Structure 1
Amino acid sequence: MAERPTTNWRDCIAKEAEELAAGTLDPECACMAGLFPEELLTSTDAVLDTFECELPGLGEADDAQIFGVVERVVLALNAVNEAHNESAYETDEREQLCEFIDQSLTEHGVDIVALTARHGLGRYQITDKWRKW
C-alpha cells in the first residue's frame, strides 16, 4: 500500500524531536516542525482521505473519470499550498505527493503508462495540467 507523504513527514518530526530531547541535535538545526506544521499535515491528510475514497473501482473507469479524480486531488492540494503562502510543498514533498498519487492509482488497477500514453503524456506528467505546487 502506498505510504502517505504525511506519514513520512510526521516520522521525520518525531525523529527530530527525539534527537533534540537526547541532545544529539543542535536546536539551531531543527527545522521539521517548522516545515510541517500540524495544520498543513491535517489539511493534506484531509485531501488524501477524499482522494483515497475515490480510488475503488478506478481500474474499470474510463480515462475521463480517472483524470477527474486526479484533477480533484491536485486542485485540493493547490488550495492547501495557497493557504500556506505557496510554500507548503517543496521539491521533495511534491515528488512524494506525485509518487503517492501514482502508486495509489496503480494499486487500484489503473495502468498509468497506458493512460498517459493515450493522452500524449509521460507517466510522470499526470498531475501537470492542474498542479501549481
Structure 2
Amino acid sequence: MAKRPTTNWREDVAQEAEALAAGALDPEYACMGALFPEALLVATDHVLDSFEAELPGLGGAGDARVFAVVERVVLALNAVDDVHCGYETDEREQLCGYIDEALTEHDVDVVALTSRHGLGRYELTDKWRNW
C-alpha cells in the first residue's frame, strides 16, 4: 500500500528528536517538530482515512466518481492547510504522489483518466488544490 506522507513526517520528527537527545543536533537547527506538529499530522491522517475508505471499487468507476473522490480529499486537505499552514513544496508533492499512487493501487489508470480530460498526470489535483 502507498506509504502515507504523514508516516514519513512522523519518522522525520522522531529521527530529529533522537538526534537532539543524543546531542548530535544543535537545538538551534531542529525544525521538524515545528514543521509537523501533532495536530497537523492527526488532521491530515483523518483526511487520508476518509480518502482510503473511498478507494475500494474505484477501478471500475466512471471518471466523475473518481474525480469526486479526488475533489473531496483535496478540499479536505485545503481545510487542514488553512488551519495549520503545514504543506510546503515537499509536502505538496508527497500528498499529490500519495493520491496518485493510492488510486493506481486501486486500479485507477491515472494517466488515462487525466488524459481523457486534457490534463497531465500530475495535474490531477490542481483544479481544487490551494496548498
Alignment TM-score > 0.5, same fold? yes
| Counterpart position of 2:2 | 2
Query: What is the aligned-residue RMSD (CA, Å)?
Result: 0.4
Deviation at 1:95, TM superposition (A): 0.1
| Counterpart position of 1:128 | 126
Residue identity opposite 1:128 in structure 2: D
- Give CA deviations for 1:15-71 in whole Å, capped at 9, x if unaligned: 000000000000000000000000000000000000000000000000000000000
Residue identity opposite 1:97 in structure 2: L
Deviation at 1:88, TM superposition (A): 1.2
Q: State the TM-score, normalized to the length of structure 1.
A: 0.98
| Counterpart position of 1:93 | 91
Give me the whole-angstrom Cα distance separating, in 1, the residues matched to 2:24 and 2:18.
Answer: 9
Give me the whole-angstrom Cα distance separating, in 2, the residues matched to 1:102 and 1:59.
Answer: 13
Q: Which runs of 5+ in 1 are unaligned?
A: none
The share of aligned pairs that are identical, in percent, is 73
Residue identity opposite 2:25 in structure 1: L
Residue identity opposite 1:76 in structure 2: A
102, 106, 118: which one aligns with 1:104: 102
| Counterpart position of 1:38 | 38
SS in 1 for 2:56: coil
Give me the whole-angstrom Cα distance separating, in 1, the residues matched to 2:34 and 2:130.
Answer: 22
Give me the whole-angstrom Cα distance separating, in 1, the residues matched to 2:74 and 2:5.
Answer: 14
Give me the whole-angstrom Cα distance separating, in 2, the residues matched to 1:113 and 1:95.
Answer: 17
4+ residue stretches of structure 1 with deviation over 3 A?
A: none
Deviation at 1:128, TM superposition (A): 0.2
- Give CA deviations for 1:79-101 in whole Å, capped at 9, x if unaligned: 001112xx210000000000000
Q: Which runs of 5+ in 2 are unaligned?
A: none
